[in-house]
Amino acid sequence: MNSKDLSNSDFQAIAYFAIGVTSEGSIGNREVAYKLSFTGTEKEGRMIPVGNSGFSLGMIQTDLGQHKDVAKDLVRAYQDWAVKNEEVSFPKEQEDKIIRELGRTGKEIKSQGGKSLDRNVKFQINKFLASSDGITFIHNHDIKQIKKLEQNIFNPLKETNLYKQVSVEDKIKLATVNVKVYNQNEFLGSKILTGLQHNRYKNIQEITEMVDGFIKNKNNKPDYLESGYKHALKGANVITELIKANPSNPLFQAWEKISENPLANPNSFTGSQREDYLEIKHLFLNSDKAGKIIREHNMQPQLSPKQEKSLEKSEVDITRPLAKNASIEEYNDYAFAALLSDDDDKMHAALDSLLTSDIGRSTQQEAAALYERQEREEIARLEQMQHDAPVMRMTRS
């Protein structure tokens, strides 16, 4: 990514990581791209859709109700995978019924009284989507959608006067907002682009203010378009932090390699490349903390004298369990020694011992409480969206 402009590869990185990983392919810092998602709630076995949305999948969410051909492709791909892997195939006479149920819009779900998808069907499809073949199936659809966004929004956006005048950081934001809105609602996203082409906006703030006014908010809660682009902008900020990082920063170096081919199949990464990919993805899944993490990596880590000595020879015997009431210093030294061990069996046994200590249990409890709180917040947000969203095409915010 140069200091003046964005290449098409740069845009693909913005679309996949900022709009995809941070905004559409995750909920509460958890990746949900490789499973059937539903923008709504389910109560007592009944589906309650938000707007006209049905089932969706992908890092760049594809609404199966709006793309019924994808529902058909999904079932056919599942059947092929099931035969190849000796899984349960759907009976031929049920294929069309399953395709119809997967491809329902929000309005169609409502007209059927919120009828849920058969639990066994959903389980098997999610099992396929989590497999290597399923990830490839979804990734191919992600690429197709990103190419559409590139052609319909990014390429013409580059020719607008505002885009040409602003900094690279603002170019990233401008592309993120326009593409995110378009991916949720093509009519409104096209309206933004038309306004840019006719020089109706002096800056990005005027665009976001217009988006904020598309739908009248209820109870002072942001509508799905407003919350959607704001969430995606958090991912855009991660990209800005990465490209501004010190070149010696390992996260900068990892991003440089990944952004050269941002649409590489996740299955293609192995070894250290996979570690880099997962670390970068973690930043976008945890966008609120990513800036701090990146800046910390700008500084060379300083080991204590005791840790430096441990690099030569560990002073901690990890073959013995860590005391349950170990102090934080003992806990850290034990963890450090475990990670330095060349014996995988000893290392894993030591890590298990860390988890059963008082500090380890406390950390797990805090993580579980955080996860539960995020789940409650997400459910509350989705329920609020039911009251805010009009009947129109949308994807996860």
Mind listing the pLDDT tens digit for each residue in 216-271?
777 677 777 888 899 999 999 999 999 999 998 999 999 999 999 999 999 999 99
pLDDT digits (tens, 9 = 90+) for 95-149: 999 999 999 999 999 999 999 999 999 999 999 999 999 999 999 999 999 999 9
One-letter amino acid of 59:
M
Instruction: List the 55-57 sheet strands across, edge first.
Output: 37-38, 55-57, 62-63
Residue of 167, 175, 180, 220 whose CA lies nearest to 196: 175
Give 81's contacts (C-beta < 8 A, 6+ positions apart).
Answer: 87, 128, 131, 133, 134
How large is the average pLDDT for residues 368-384? 70
Written as one string, the DSSP assignment of 293-359 is HHHHHTSPPPPPHHHHHHHHS--S-TTSPPPTT--HHHHHHHHHHHHH-S-HHHHHHHHHHHHHSHH
> pLDDT tier at 389 (50, 70, 90 boundaries)?
low
Q: Could you say which DSSP state residue 38 is in?
A: E
The confidence score (pLDDT) of residue 346 equals 79
pLDDT exceeds cutoff 50 at 32: yes
Residue 114 CA to residue 112 CA, distance in Å, equals 6
CA dist., res. 35 & res. 193, Å (int): 32
Provide the whole-model pTM.
0.73
Give which of 337, 388, 35, 44 is closest to 221, Cα–Cα: 388
- CA–CA gap between residue 248 and residue 258 (Å, rounded): 16
SS3 115: strand
Task: Identify which of 388, 353, 96, 113 has the alpha carbon closest to the alpha carbon of residue 228.
Answer: 388
